[in-house]
Amino acid sequence: MAKYVQNIRGVVNEEITNEFASQLGNIVGNFVGPSKHVVVGRDINVTSQMIKRSITTGLMAAGANVIDFGIAPIPVIHYNMDYYDASAMINISKSNLRPENVDIKIFSDHEIPLQAHPKCVNWDEIGNLQYVYEYRDFYEKAILKQIDTNNIKDKGFFLVLDYKGDAAKPFISRILNKLGCETVLIGSVEGTSAGGFSESTPKSMSLVSELTTSIGADMGIILDNDADNVVFVDHQGNMIREQTVLGIFAKYILQENSGGNIVSSVVASQSLEEIVSENSGQLIKTSVDNVLYEIVSNNAVFGGDEPGLYAFPEFQICFDGIYAVMKMLEILAKENSTLSALAEDIKEYNRTGFTIKCEHEKKDEVIETFMTKFEYKNNINTVDGVRINLDDSFILIRPSRFEPLVRIYIESKSAHKLQELTESTKKIIENVKE
């Protein structure tokens, strides 16, 4: 069980070079120790292939044994960590934020000090490299055992699946086929929207939406290249908000786990807070980077976050878009309902998210300014940036770790107040920057 996830992102061949990647692998190898196992995997992109090979050499130079999954989704690799007795997992993929960037995710039970000095072992202590292939079968069998397969088969769902995370036909289609689903597979997911957040492009959304409605599918599904996040589209072609999907999952999981803990980040909607409370649960809000850690620490029954990240401890503590699809089908079958009907039961409040350019040295001043302006200390959450909770609204300002900008989320039960808060927030930040 890996409760720590450390993210490293940068431009390939500028910030993330082969030398950097090799040294990073070396540092991770030093931390886990000689002869320990580290599993590695990547997405289909050639930049990921290059960086993975450099990380692998660094791990082996530190004496670690490398289990290479090749091209594989993050949740599938993570599920098999215990089987291969791995002390850590490293995944490399093209960034959803910038096509020139690569994302390196390191999963482990302990936070690894990445500023350490890399050290190599003697020539006769170099680690081994092993390629494996059976991991897909292990994951597939486990997921079919966990899900109510008979109920789903009886419904015979018709689905549109947008995913190009595999070089060949993705095995998620094989799982869906075994569940009696008819699936139309396309592969249009690419990049991200102009707003800068990690999400599906308008092009892919439009394609899935139009295809779902035109062929009369029950649901559209968009998986990212790592298959750790997912977007759902209902039979009417409407994208279901991530906060609404969180509400659907939380509601039905709490019905079977009354009093359970639900974990999300400070981005969480007021609607999610209400749903969890109404179903006798407790919502724990944490930083965006610590959702998985808090799921473990609080023995939570479910956790998730934007963009489209959902973790089900009943199966594994990892953001798992594939399992989220199966769980949604299970809920639809159990309730004999449609996705649009489930979504209608979840309140959606007026909400916006955007970024403002802000130099790194000004970010603390922005946070302090908002904390000074809103002196209701008991309504301020500083676990990740600053979230100001008002009577029927909230403002969240989060400084970006990697870029010279701040991310702003504003939600209000009143459309007019949302507009007012948006304008005043932008004005405050612009004044600080001057």
What domains does the chain contain, in order, with CATH numbers? 4-133 (3.40.120.10), 138-344 (3.40.120.10), 350-433 (3.30.310.50)
What's the confidence (pLDDT) of residue 195? 33
What's the confidence (pLDDT) of residue 300? 98
Q: How many CA atoms lie within 13 A of 181 on its CB side?
A: 29
What's the confidence (pLDDT) of residue 377? 59
Predicted TM-score (pTM) above 0.85: yes
Please count the residues of the chain: 434
DSSP SS3 for 363: helix
- 273 by Cβ neighbours in 10 Å (0-12 / 13-18 / 19+) ranks as middle
Q: How many helices (H) and strands (E) does the chain have?
A: 14, 20
What's the confidence (pLDDT) of residue 192? 37
Q: What 8-state DSSP symbol labels residue 229?
A: B
The answer to whether 132 and 66 have CB atoms below 8 angstroms apart is: no
The amino acid sitting at 217 is A
Distances (CA, A) of 130 to 39, 118, 122: 10, 23, 20
Omega of the bond leading into 202 within 30 degrees of 0 (cis): no
Locus of tokens 């770790």: 401
Q: How many CA atoms lie within 13 A of 105 on its CB side?
A: 23
Which residue(s) pair with 103 in the sheet?
A: 9, 93
- CB atoms near residue 422 (< 10 Å): 17
> From first to last of its 434 residues, what are the pLDDT tens digits of the chain?
577 899 999 999 999 999 999 999 999 999 999 999 999 999 999 999 999 999 999 999 999 999 999 999 999 999 999 999 999 999 999 987 788 999 999 999 999 999 899 999 999 999 999 999 889 899 999 999 999 999 999 999 999 999 876 655 677 889 999 999 999 998 754 433 333 333 456 777 889 999 999 999 999 999 988 999 999 999 999 999 999 999 999 999 999 999 999 999 999 999 999 999 999 999 999 999 999 999 999 999 999 999 999 999 999 999 999 999 999 999 999 999 999 999 999 999 999 999 999 998 899 999 998 888 876 656 889 999 999 999 899 999 999 887 899 999 999 999 999 999 999 999 999 888 76
What's the confidence (pLDDT) of residue 200? 58
What's the confidence (pLDDT) of residue 233? 97
The answer to whether 252 and 301 have CB atoms below 8 angstroms apart is: no
Distance CA 155, CA 114 (A): 49
What's the confidence (pLDDT) of residue 434? 67
What's the confidence (pLDDT) of residue 208? 93
What's the confidence (pLDDT) of residue 193? 36
- CB atoms near residue 379 (< 10 Å): 13
What's the confidence (pLDDT) of residue 198? 36
What's the confidence (pLDDT) of residue 206? 87
Distance CA 393, CA 82 (A): 43
DSSP SS3 for 87: strand
What's the confidence (pLDDT) of residue 67? 98
